[in-house]
Amino acid sequence: MDILTNRRDGILAIEFNRPAKKNSITAAMYQMMADALKDGEQDNGVRVILFCGKPDIFTAGNDLEDFMNTSTQGDFSDRPVVHFMRQLSSASKPVIAAVAGAAIGIGTTMLLHCDINYAADNAKFSMPFAQLGLCPEFASSMLLQQVVGFPRAAEKLLLGEPFSAQEAYEMGLINKVLPANELLGYARAQAEKLTRLPASSLRRTKNLMKAAQAEIVKEKMMEENKYFGAMLLSPEAKEAFSAFFEKRKPDLTKFK
């Protein structure tokens, strides 16, 4: 299975499990995660959700071949990735992410919708949307600058260059950086602490922190989805994706 789920001691663990493809995410994987989050939301035995990958890779983001093969199939707003991000953004229970290795594209975007993020010292983050002829996704244009400030958000979103776990920590995107071999144990221990607290208190606390801008986030996600879906079909995106598959540098200077 490309997505592994495990419910134990009040923790729903959702693990990227496609290491041969650098945990790149297909539409089927997004749907599995969306379904797992929905089931976890309805299961009173689940008190905390924990996302993780492998020791050397969190996720390389979208599986580009799968993503492009499905890019013209129906309304973008009905795609599995949208279902997943809606479930993640609206989750009432605490969500922890444990990131080791690369977290590319959606791998970084999703952290903006998690509540607590831990990273291994080998983690690398990037949001290379502009490099692919696209735009930010799932309210990241708003949420990233709220977390790290406009200048840093502009640098990360406009240039799309990778940044380290230490920089992510200094910016406020990550709560703590740990040695790679300690990451998952620490994240699970923190999740276990939460399972011992009153579930209703955790839900109410999270709701109080997020409710004020929940509708704004939802609207921003819809706005970005509209532009993102349209830009997937643009000449710039076609050149960027073609260059990726052909293992060459894209020529994006010819577009205005």
Give pTM, 2 decimals. Answer: 0.95
Report the candidate in 86, 108, 111 with the shortest Cα–Cα distance to residue 97: 111
Any domain includes 129: yes
Any domain includes 250: no
Instruction: Mark 96-111 as b/e (b = at least 16 C-beta within 10 Å).
Output: bbbbbbbbbbbbbbbb
pLDDT at 73: 56
Q: Which CATH number covers residue 49?
A: 3.90.226.10
The whole-angstrom separation of Cα 242 and Cα 239 is 5
Neighbours of 9 (CB within 10 A): 12
> Does the pLDDT at position 67 exceed 60?
yes
Per residue in 96-149, pLDDT tens? 999 999 999 999 999 999 999 999 999 999 999 999 999 999 999 999 999 999
Any domain includes 20: yes
Model confidence at 181, pLDDT cuts 50, 70, 90, reads very high
Any domain includes 200: no
List the alpha helices (DSSP H) in 47-148. 64-69, 80-90, 106-109, 140-148
Any domain includes 208: no
Any domain includes 191: no
Per residue in 242-253, pLDDT tens? 888 888 988 888
pLDDT at 75: 63
Backbone angles phi, psi at 96, to 5 degrees: -115, 140
Per residue in 28-60, pLDDT tens? 999 999 999 999 999 999 999 999 999 999 999
Side chain identity at residue 25, one-letter code: I
Average pLDDT over residues 174-179: 98
Model confidence at 232, pLDDT cuts 50, 70, 90, reads confident
Average pLDDT, the chain: 94
Residues 165 and 122: beta-carbon distance below 8 Å: yes
pLDDT at 72: 56
Any domain includes 166: yes
Any domain includes 214: no
Spatial strand order of the sheet with 163-164 comes to 57-59, 102-104, 124-126, 163-164
Domain with 158 in it: 3-180
Average pLDDT over residues 13-39: 97
Instruction: Provide the domain count of the chain.
Output: 1
Torsion of CA 160, 25, 144, 171, to 10 degrees: -80
